[in-house]
A and B are shown apart, each in its own frame.
Chain A
Amino acid sequence: MALGGMFRNAAAIYLHLVGPFRGKKSGASLARCLHQTLVMTKQLQARRLNGIDHNPWVEFVKLASEADVVNLGQGFPDFAPPDFAVEAFQHAVSGDFMLNQYTKAFGYPPLTKILASFFGKLLGQDMDPLKNVLVTVGAYGALFTAFQALVDEGDEVIIIEPFFDCYEPMTLMAGGRPVFVSLKLSPNQDRELDSSSNWQLDPTELASKFTSRTKALILNTPNNPLGKVFSRAELELVASLCQQHDVVCITDEVYQWLVYDGCQHVSIATLPGMWERTLTIGSAGKTFSATGWKVGWVLGPESLLKHLRTVHQNSIFHCPTQAQAAVAQSFEREQLHFGQPSSYFVQLPQAIQRCRDHMIQSLKSVGLRPVIPQGSYFLITDISEFKSKMPNLPGAADEPYDRRFVKWMIKNKGLMAIPVSIFYSVPHQKLFDHYIRFCFMKDESTLQAMDKKLQKWKDDLRP
């Protein structure tokens, strides 16, 4: 044991002991404080955490809580889940007291049963609740489980940009290599606002990203942050490449019910040859506007799910029972109303489309150029005009413009959004630093508060 080294360290960092004295109860010994800094001369954290410790959300969430801002940043509803879901949860927590105990590890049986039957119909598969369904802690947990189960050191994972930001660190944590391919705007020729459908993949470029090391492709439709709903033709392109190169498709479909203007959500698992190589991820939080319940699921073939089960039983093992019971009951209700005007899956997108349209009109009035989303909770808006008018907003050197713009907007205009460069790989952040993302999954009162802020902004713009 290199005692000499330890004491040299102690001498050099003795000064750091001043800070820790604060907050200590009286009686803490000096010897104890010395020990404090002599810990772990070897690297503390595991190497799998390299490069993934920073999380951009932390900074922005903190900023939003500090000022008087209308929070259109983080993606969660600020209105209640539907009554039947709230009642289902109330029923789950006040009924059978045994629901306070562990349920089956891979999913509360009534939930896996209803998921298998509900999605079996949608995906055109005869699904077994024990083999083809895994319940996870949110869709986030489902993604993690999938990456850990299938991605090995050196495996490549194709990620379509812009991407929900966790896909990259999850790939890295599994030792994988993210390979990015960007959706690119083919803008409208006229002055009309672009739609998320104008953002497309170049087929040749996409094909070039597949190599013999490609293990998986992660698809997100409807897409966060763009709101793009991949068309059947676009999915067929992805599907044929996945089959040709024998790649697993992990499809994040959390916003599957939130599609607008008559757009159709298509699950890639329904395309020929895809069921056996696709993991379809869903979220109760997004489905029932109850993000705090943290219930998600993965649907797929037994040959893949068995590996996710292994990860699951060695990571969290069980998911909370009562939230699962509430989700099960909510799906049972929706199954009865499926396709009818009374279905939440019909009513919700209708209501949210109105929120979307309201927000689009309001944002236009201050010179922002929103991209009309076909689906999801979000839209992105082009801030190029602001970039040319106010290029030098305060921020760290090399900080992408959109982040500096958002901070300025929070501080000066009382509105919070999320810079879209967060959803891009580092090399591409400078190319896509002129968009910010707004969440319109908000109550009418929030949108009105947004209007007030925007009105004031508009007034400030007048010469």
Chain B
Amino acid sequence: MFNSDISIYLLPLKFFLLSCSMFLARARLCTLGSRPKFLKTICASKILGLSTSAKMSLKFKNAKRIEGLDSNVWIEFTKLAADPSVVNLGQGLPDISPPVYVKEELSKIAAIDSLNQYTRGFGHPSLVKALSCLYEKFYQNQINPNKEILVTVGAYGSLFNAIQGLIDEGDEVIVIVPFYDCYEPMVRMAGAIPVFIPLRSKLVDGKKWSSSDWTLDPQELASKFNSKTKAIILNTPHNPLGKVYTKEELQVIADLCIKYDTLCISDEVYEWLVYTGNKHFKIATFPGMWERTITIGSAGKTFSVTGWKLGWSIGPKHLIKHLQTVQQNTVYTCATPLQEALAQALWIDIKRMDDPECYFNSLPKELEVKRNRMVHLLESVGLKPIVPDGGYFIIADVSLLDTDLSDMKNSNEPYDYKFVKWMTKNKKLSAIPVSAFCNAETKLQFEKFVRFCFIKKDSTLDAAEEIIKAWSRQKF
């Protein structure tokens, strides 16, 4: 609306700014340590005599912390998959029902009046108690529910609190590629520098390609650490690969964290979703790691209730207290009835941890079947899937299909973006391009991969199977 008004002012403004910056370059040398605020002061609208509309366009600019962080892969792709005729294997959202008792608890709680008002900011008392009880089974020490646990708006909120609370401008944060896409913008929003290291696959001939074939090179990893490294973000089980880090792999990371006095933010939202032959290890339980690790969990992924948006951070009080400070200055508290329902659901399963009926045991069993089905389906159409050891995603190399994507415009996009758009449009099947989980420099390494979500009901997978079978019939 204001573009045409400001354009006539831009040219003189540019010249003015250029001469300002030259003056300031000299002035700045004389005032070491102070930030270059001069430019904004000198270019105050009054002095320049700009019109109101031009002034507005300067003033209404976003804060620097979010510069360049406005695009988001999910917004783009969920819009694409919103067409109801599309079989959506894209976003990591179950279309299966949460367990009956979880829904029942929430229904019961919705009738309790006192739970409609504010609860404790750092976490509803019965919830932090339940979390403490659950996780004490995995850690060597007792977990103080008030000081060592924080309940957040989803695991997403925990990541945000951890990064805002502990990462400073100029810090370096190691991010393993591919990465859940929010890690990079959150690190940048904190003014820090993400330092990327890709997982690399060894060559697999003959045997099935597994997520365990993808590893970090220990020397390459060590080279990423230095005195400015504030933290490393770990995600196990891993999204999108499904990799479950082994004890040895975690030990390499732990050793480096201790050597360089670095924090570890461990995103373990898929901790229960581990398939036969694999075990989830918590890096915080390794010697020397409890004191420097924030471990993040998610109700959404634990109980298939992503819409409850409840997550938690567990760690030593000298770290959690900073996440709590962020909490009291951001959302202050999370929704009460949902927290109480989650507490009740946790108690039900805490009491039967060894029971096959316990959701922590039954869900991975259910999903392993779906995983195997997906592997078979993807192979049948000539896609090369990487069998995930955990999580509810599977990625596949789509390049072998050699699909003709020439009718997809925007040739600047990575191959997988074009492929997914083509597949959504022409095959009515959606997925997510794996290069969305990469930084600019590594996108090319992963642009042949596409991510499918398999926490879907059988009828959804049946529909996907129909599409894939028809597709493979067309090819041959």
Which residues on A are within 8 Å of B, measured CB to CB? 1, 23-25, 27-29, 31-32, 35-49, 52-53, 55, 74, 76-78, 80-81, 86, 89-90, 93-94, 97-105, 137-138, 140-141, 144, 148-155, 166, 169-170, 173-174, 212-213, 215, 243, 246-248, 276-277, 285, 289-294, 303-304, 306-307, 309-311, 313-323
Contacts and interface: CB of A to CB of B under 8 A. Distances in A.
B260 A313 contact: no
Given A44-B322, A93-B107, A320-B309, A292 B116 contact: yes
A41 B65 CA distance: 27
B331 A81 contact: no
A188 B160 CA distance: 49
A93 B110 contact: yes
Contacts of B347: none
B325 A49 contact: yes
A57 to B, nearest CB: 8
A454 B263 CA distance: 53
9 contacts: A86-B110, A97-B98, A213-B41, A292-B116, A310-B70, A314-B182, A314-B186, A320-B335, A323-B337
B116 A293 contact: yes
Given A89-B116, A276-B56, A289-B116, 6 more contacts: A31-B287, A93-B110, A150-B63, A246-B55, A315-B156, A323-B337
Contact of B63 (A25, A53, A80, A307): A307
B294 to A, nearest CB: 12
B154 A318 contact: yes
Contact of B141 (A28, A150, A155, A304): A28
Given A46-B166, A76-B118, A80-B113, A316 B63 contact: no
Contact of A76 (B117, B308, B309): B117
B307 A294 contact: no
Contacts of A247: 59
Contact of A74 (B75, B118, B166, B321): B118
A103 B335 contact: no
B147 to A, nearest CB: 11
Interface in B51-66: 52, 55-56, 59-60, 62-66
A86 B116 contact: yes
B90 interface: no
Contacts, number: 271
A195 B352 CA distance: 60
Given A46-B165, A97-B97, A310-B69, A137 B153 contact: yes
B117 A141 contact: no
Contact of A137 (B106, B115, B331): B331
Given A90-B111, A320-B309, A42 B261 contact: yes
A140 B72 CA distance: 24
Contacts of A80: 113, 116
A46 B307 contact: no
A99 B142 CA distance: 35
Contacts of B35: 153-154
B260 A46 contact: no
B322 A25 contact: no
B173 to A, nearest CB: 12
Contact of A293 (B78, B154, B335): B335
A149 B66 contact: yes
Given A28-B140, A212-B46, A36 B70 contact: no
A150 B326 contact: no
Nearest to B95: A98
Nearest to B52: A246
A93 B325 contact: no
Interface string B317-338: 0110110011011111111111
B217 interface: no
Contacts of B442: none
Contacts of B119: 292
A35 B258 contact: yes
Interface string B426-447: 0000000000000000000000
A99 B307 contact: yes
Contacts of A141: 153, 330-331
A152 B64 contact: yes
Given A140-B332, A294-B333, A317-B182, A212 B45 contact: yes
Contacts of B59: 215, 246-248
A323 B335 contact: yes
B40 interface: yes
B187 to A, nearest CB: 10
Nearest to A166: B329
B117 A290 contact: yes
Contacts of A289: 116
Contact of A307 (B62, B291, B321): B62
Given A310-B66, A310-B69, A35 B116 contact: no
Contact of B144 (A23, A103, A213, A309): A23
Nearest to A37: B291
A78 B118 CA distance: 10
B391 interface: no
Q: Which 8 A-B pairs have the closest CB atoms?
A: A292-B336, A212-B44, A321-B307, A35-B288, A307-B62, A45-B322, A316-B153, A137-B331
A248 B91 CA distance: 36
B156 A77 contact: no
A32 B254 CA distance: 13
A420 B290 CA distance: 41
A452 B231 CA distance: 56
A316 B260 contact: no
Contact of B116 (A29, A81, A170): A81
Given A93-B106, A149-B62, A292-B115, A166 B332 contact: yes
Nearest to B309: A320
Contacts of B382: none
Nearest to B334: A294
B37 interface: yes
A292 B69 CA distance: 31
A461 to B, nearest CB: 33
Given A35-B288, A89-B110, A100-B304, A46 B322 contact: yes
